[in-house]
Structure 1
Amino acid sequence: MAAERVEKRGEEEAQTRLPDLSFVHDKLQKFQSKMVSDFEQRLSCMVEDVLQDLRQRELRAHEFPNFEKSDRKSTWHNRVTNQAPADVSDAPNGHANGTQPRPPLQSETSVRKQRRQLPEKVFVARESYLTALLQVEHMRTIYHIFYIILVMFLLNVICYDYFVDGRFDLGLGTFRGGLRRLHWVLGVWLLEHVFVLALYFAFRGWALVRHRLKPHSSLQRFWSHSCLILYISSQLVFCFVSTSLCLKFNLPFVSACVLLLESTRLLMKMHAFVRYNAERVLNGKAKKEDAQEEKEASGRPFVPPLSCYTYFLFAPTLIYRDSYPRTSHIRWKFALNRLLEVVAIAFLYAFIHERHIHEHFGQYGLEPMGPSQLILKLFGMMLPCAVIFLCGFYLILHSWLNFTSELLRFGDRMFYKDWWTSHTYDGYYRNWNVVVHDWLYEYVYKDMYTHVFRGSKVGASLAVFMISAVVHEQVLGFALQMFFPVMFFLFGVVGVALVFLMRSAPKVMGNIFLWFSLILGNATLISLYAMEHYALKNCSLSNRSWTDRLLPAVWRCYN
C-alpha cells in the first residue's frame, strides 16, 4: 500500500510539473528560433559586406589604380597606436617615416598600458581623395557636370540682368556689398599675427625661466601657474577682440566671416603649439644634435626655432610638429587650377545669393507669410542649398587647402576622407573635415578622456561636440550680428542624437538617410538664417528689454 501511494504521488507530481516543462520547452523553442533568425540576418549582412568589399576592391584595382599603388591602410589612415608619437621629418621626395619599430620584448603591464593609449596623428605624403579620384575618367565626368552647373547659373544671371534690370552685373554687387571694409579686416589680421608671434617669445621666456628655477620648488610652480593663467586670459582677450571688432566696424557677412574664421584658426594654432611643446618642456626633453651643441646647451629645454613656428602658422594643418613631409617642387599649373576654382565658386555663391536667397527671402517681413508659403520657400531652397553645401566643402577643404599646400610644398593633403560614403554620423564627422577633427581629437578629446572624464569616451565626445557647436554658432552669430542659435541646436543637439541613433543602421539605408538629412538640414539652416537676417532688416522692431533681443525677429515680425 505504501508503495502504491508513493507511485501515485510521483504520478501526480509529474502531472503538475508537466505544464511547467512544456512552458519552458516553448520558451526555449522561441529563443532558439529568434537566435537562428538573428544569426541568419547577421550572417547575410556580413556576407553582403564582404561581397561589397570585394567588388569595391576589384573596381579600385581596375578604375582607381591610385588607391592600389601603396598600402591603402597606411595611405588613407592618419593615426597609429604607438608607445611614443611617430617621428616625421622632411623628405625631399614626399616621403616620411611615420612608424616606429616595436620593441622585441614587452611585459604584460606595458602591453595593457599601450592598449589604453589613444592613437597618435601621423603625417604621410599623400594626395587628397578627390585629386586621386579625378584622375579617373568616370569621376572627371561628374567634375564636368559641376562646370556646366556653374555655366548655367552664369547664363541665368546674365539673362536676368539683361531682360529685367537692363544691365550686366554678374554678381559684382554681391561682392561689393559682402567685402566692404575688407581693409579693416586686413589691418586686424596683421595685428593678430603680431600677437601670435609675441606668444612664441613669451613661451620661450617661460621655458627658460622655469629651467633656471629650482626643480619641483614652490617658486617654479608659482611661475608656471601664473604663466598658465596669463596664457588663458590672453586667449580669451584675443577671442573677445576679434568678435567685438565685427560689431564695432559693422562688418558685412563675408568680411566678418573672414575675420572670425582667421581668428579661430590662429587661436587653434597657438593652442596646438603651446600644448605640444609645453609637455616637452615639462618632461625635460632637450634636442641635442651633436656633442658640441650638447655642451653649449647644457640641458636647456628645447624650444623649436622660430622658422618652425612660422611655417606652422601658414601650413594647412592645425597639428603642430617640428617638421612635415614636403614635396620636391611646386606644381604651378595645379596651384593655378585650384585658385581658379576658388574664384569660380565665389562667383557661383554670388549668383545663388542673388537669384535664390534674395529672391525667396528678400521681402520677408513685408509680405504675407503663412505655413504654406514657408514650406514652399523651404523646398524651393533645397537644391540651391545642396549646391552651397557641396561647393563649400570643395572650396575650402579641397581647392583652397590644396592651393596653399602646393605653395608651401606641404606633403600631407588628406584634408578630408570619403565622407560621402558614410552610413553613420560617426563616420561623417570623422571624415568630413579631417583638419579640424584632428585638432579636436588631439587637443580636446584626448585631454578630456585622460584628465577630465577618466576613460569615458561618451563624456569626452559630448564635450567635443559642445565646444564645436559653440564655436560654429559664435562665428555665424557674430558674422550676421544676431542671436539665433539654430546652428547650435542642429549641430549640438540633433547631430549628437543622430550619432547614437544611426550606429546600427544598415549601410545603404544609412547612407541614404545621411544625404537626406544633410540636404534637409542645410536647407533649413540657410533658410532660417536668411529669414532672420531679412526680418531684422525689413521689420521695425523695438528692443525695449533684454528679452526682446532673445526672441527671434522671424517670430516678432508676424506676431
Structure 2
Amino acid sequence: MADDNEPTTLREQDQGDVDGETLPELQFVREKLQRFQSHMLQDIEKQVSCLIEDVLQGIRQREVRAHEFRQFEGHHETSDRRQVSSFNTYHNRQQNTSTKLANQSASFSKMDVNDSPKKGTTSTARIKGRLPDKVFVARDSYLTALLEVAHMRTIYHIFYIILVMFLLNVIFHDYFVEGQINFALGTFRGGLRRLHWVMGAWILEHIFVLALYYAFQGWALVRHKLKPQGSLQRFWSHSCLIMYISSQLVFGYVSSSLCLKFQLPFVSACVLLLESTRLLMKMHAFVRYNSQRVLCGKQKVDGVDPNGNENASLSAGRPFIPPLQCYVYFLFAPTLIYRDSYPRTSHIRWKFALNRLLEVVAVAFLYAFIHERHIEEHFGKFGLEPMGAPQLIVKLFGMMLPSAVIFLCGFYLILHSWLNFTSELLRFGDRMFYKDWWTSHNYDGYYRNWNVVVHDWLYEYVYKDVYTYVFKGSKLAASLLVFLISALVHEQVLGFALQMFFPVMFILFFVVGVALVFLMRSAPKILGNIFLWFSLILGNGMLISLYAMEYYAKKNCDLKYDSWRDHLVPAIWRCYN
C-alpha cells in the first residue's frame, strides 16, 4: 500500500510545485488582460460617443439649414437629386435643352434592350465632349439671401459699427491733429480729376458700340444675299472678321492711350479702363452668340423668329438679327453673357436699390480714409527716407490688415452693392454675381466662385471655343490660356491706370495663382480654407504695398528715362540703387 501511494504523493507534490511557480505568471497575465479589456472598453465608449456626437451635430446642422438657411438647403445633395433640390437655384450651367433631348434620344436608340445606364456615368454631352451652357434663373445674390438670417444680419451690423468707428477715428484725427475736418475730400478731388474727359470718352465708346450693331446687321444681310456665290460669300465674311478684330484692338488701344494722353489720375483711369474692358467683352459676347446663328442659317420666316416670338413686320428668308432694344438692354445689364431675354422682376424695390447705393458711397469713403491714413502714411515718403530690410518688413506687415479690408470691401462694393443696384433698376432677375467663394478650400473653387460674371464670359467665349476648336479637348491648355488672358487684362488695367510697367499682378496671378491651383487640389478642407485665406491676405498685402511703393518712388525720386530700358527697371530699385 505504501508503495502504491508513493507515486501519487510525489505527483501531487510535483503538481503543487508547478502551481506554485505558475501562479504569479497567471496572475500577471490576468492583470494584463483586464487592463487591456478596460482600455478597449474605454476606446469603444469614446468612439461610440464621438459617433453619436457627430450624428447629433449633423442633425443640428441640418435643422439650422432647414429653418434658417432655406435657400441653401440641399447644397450637399447628390447629383441625382439636384433637379428637385433647392440648390438648383445656385446651379450655374446645364446642357442646352434643344440639344439635350436630341442627344438623349440618339443615345437611347443605340442602347440594347438589356443595357442600362450605370451609376456615376457622365451625361451624353460630357461623353461627346460638349460643355454645358450658362443658364439664367431668377435668384437673389448669396449675401442677400444670407442676410435674411438674423445671425448673419448681426455680423452685417458689426461691420456697420466698424465703419462708423473708422469714420470717427478719421474725424478726431483730422480735428485734433490737422485742425480741420475734410472727410477725405482731398482724395476724392485728386482721384476724380479730369472725370469730364472720361465721360466724353465713355459717350464716344457707346456710339462705337451701337455702330457695331448695324455693322453686324450689314454683314449678315450681305452674306445672305451672297449665298449663291460661295467664294464671294467667304471673302466677305473673312474681310468682315479681319475688320472686326482690328476694330476691337483699336478700341482697346485708344482707351489705354487716353489714360496717358490726358494724364488721368488712378480712379478716373480705372473707370475708363474698366468700362472699356466691359464694353469690349459685351461686343464680343453679342457678335459671338449671334454670328453662330447667322452661320447656322437661322432665319426669320413668316413673321416668327427662330425662338418662336411673333413679329409680323419681318420679311421671310432674312437672317435672324435680334432687335436693337435687346442689344441696348444687354449693354447695361449686369451680365457679360448675351441672351435675347433674361429673367425679370415684376417691379423695382426702391428701398433695396437706395440701400445698395448708400453702401457704394460708404465703401468709397472708407477707401479714401484707408488711402489717407494707411497708404500715404506708410509709403508717402518712399524714396525720400532711408529704407532697409527692417523698415520694409514693418511697412509690408503694417499694410496687411488694411489691404484685407480693401480686398473684401472691393468685392462687396462691385459684385454685391453696385451690381445689385443696377439689377434692381433694370429689373434684372438673375443676381448670382458670385457664389460662396469664402468657403473654398482650393483655388479652383475660389476662381470659379469669386467673380461669376467675368468667369462666365471667360468660360463661354474663351474656354469653350479654345477647348472645342483650338486645343481639341485639352482642358489644361484651355485653362492656362484663360488664366493668361485674365492676367494680361488685369495687368493692363493696373499698369495704365498707374502709368507704369510693374508686372507684379501678372506674376502673382498667372505664375503664383496657377501654381496654387495645382498644389491645393488635394488639400484637406479645413487646412485648405485656412491656407486660402492666409495666401489671399498675404498676397493682397504684398500687391498693394509693392504698387504703392513703385508709385511713390516714381513720384518722389527724380528719375531720368533716357531709353526704353529705363521704363523696364522698377523705380523702387532705381531710387535706392
Check whether TM > 0.5: yes
Determine whether 1:433 maps to 2:451.
yes
Stretch moving more, 519-528 or 134-143: 134-143
1:445-464 aligned within 5 A: 445-464=463-482
- The structure 1 residue matched to 2:138, chosen from 125, 129, 136, is 125
Q: Kindly state the Cα deviation for residue 108 of structure 1 after the two structures are TM-superposed.
A: 4.2
1:180-233 deviations in Å (ceiling 9; x for gaps) = 000000000000000000000000000000000034611000000000000000
Instruction: Give the match for residue 146 of structure 1.
Output: 159
Instruction: Give the match for residue 60 of structure 1.
Output: 65
CA distance 1:53–1:443, shift in 2 (3 Å): farther
Which sections of structure 2, spanning at least 5 residues, go unmatched?
A: 1-51, 75-83, 112-121, 305-309
Determine whether 1:106 maps to 2:124.
no
Which sections of structure 1, spanning at least 5 residues, go unmatched?
A: 1-46, 87-98
Q: Contact between 2:255 and 2:272, CA under 8 Å: does it hold in 1?
A: yes
Q: Kindly state the Cα deviation for residue 299 of structure 1 after the two structures are TM-superposed.
A: 1.6
Matched residues in 2 for 1:445 and 1:132: separation? 30
Determine whether 1:262 maps to 2:275.
yes
Matched residues in 2 for 1:82 and 1:126: separation? 20
Matched residues in 2 for 1:548 and 1:52: separation? 62
Stretch moving more, 104-113 or 536-545: 104-113
Determine whether 1:310 maps to 2:328.
yes
Instruction: Give the match for residue 182 of structure 1.
Output: 195
- The structure 1 residue matched to 2:296, chosen from 260, 283, 293, is 283
Instruction: Give the match for residue 91 of structure 2.
Output: 77
- The structure 2 residue matched to 1:230, chosen from 224, 228, 243, is 243
CA distance 1:273–1:57, shift in 2 (3 Å): farther
Q: Which amino acid is 1:453 matched to?
A: F
Aligned residues: percent identity? 77
- The structure 2 residue matched to 1:136, chosen from 125, 139, 149, is 149
**Helix, strand or coil for the counterpart of 2:108?**
coil
CA distance 1:391–1:256, shift in 2 (3 Å): same
- The structure 1 residue matched to 2:439, chosen from 421, 438, 443, is 421
Matched residues in 2 for 1:65 and 1:289: separation? 47
Determine whether 1:557 maps to 2:575.
yes
Determine whether 1:242 maps to 2:244.
no
Matched residues in 1 for 2:217 and 2:195: separation? 34
Q: Kindly state the Cα deviation for residue 101 of structure 1 after the two structures are TM-superposed.
A: 11
CA distance 1:283–1:362, shift in 2 (3 Å): same
Q: Which amino acid is 2:278 matched to?
A: R
**Helix, strand or coil for the counterpart of 1:297?**
coil
CA distance 1:355–1:271, shift in 2 (3 Å): same
Determine whether 1:173 maps to 2:178.
no
* Structure index of larger Rg: 2
Instruction: Give the match for residue 37 of structure 2.
Output: none
C-alpha root-mean-square deviation of aligned residues, in Å? Answer: 2.4
Instruction: Give the match for residue 399 of structure 1.
Output: 417
Q: Which amino acid is 1:277 matched to?
A: N
CA distance 1:492–1:406, shift in 2 (3 Å): same
Q: Contact between 1:85 and 1:120, CA under 8 Å: does it hold in 2?
A: no
Determine whether 1:384 maps to 2:394.
no
Q: Contact between 2:139 and 2:431, CA under 8 Å: does it hold in 1?
A: yes
Matched residues in 1 for 2:298 and 2:447: separation? 35
Q: Kindly state the Cα deviation for residue 464 of structure 1 after the two structures are TM-superposed.
A: 0.1
Q: Kindly state the Cα deviation for residue 57 of structure 1 after the two structures are TM-superposed.
A: 3.6
1:342-390 deviations in Å (ceiling 9; x for gaps) = 0000000000000000000000000110111111111111111110000
CA distance 1:80–1:113, shift in 2 (3 Å): closer
Matched residues in 1 for 2:436 and 2:489: separation? 25
Q: Which amino acid is 2:461 matched to?
A: Y
Matched residues in 2 for 1:402 and 1:347: separation? 19
Stretch moving more, 100-109 or 500-509: 100-109
Answer 1 or 2: higher relative contact order, Cα 8 Å, separation at least 6: 1
What is the TM-score of this pair, normalised by structure 2?
Answer: 0.83
Instruction: Give the match for residue 115 of structure 2.
Output: none
**Helix, strand or coil for the counterpart of 1:106?**
helix
Matched residues in 2 for 1:366 and 1:342: separation? 35
Q: Kindly state the Cα deviation for residue 293 of structure 1 after the two structures are TM-superposed.
A: 6.0
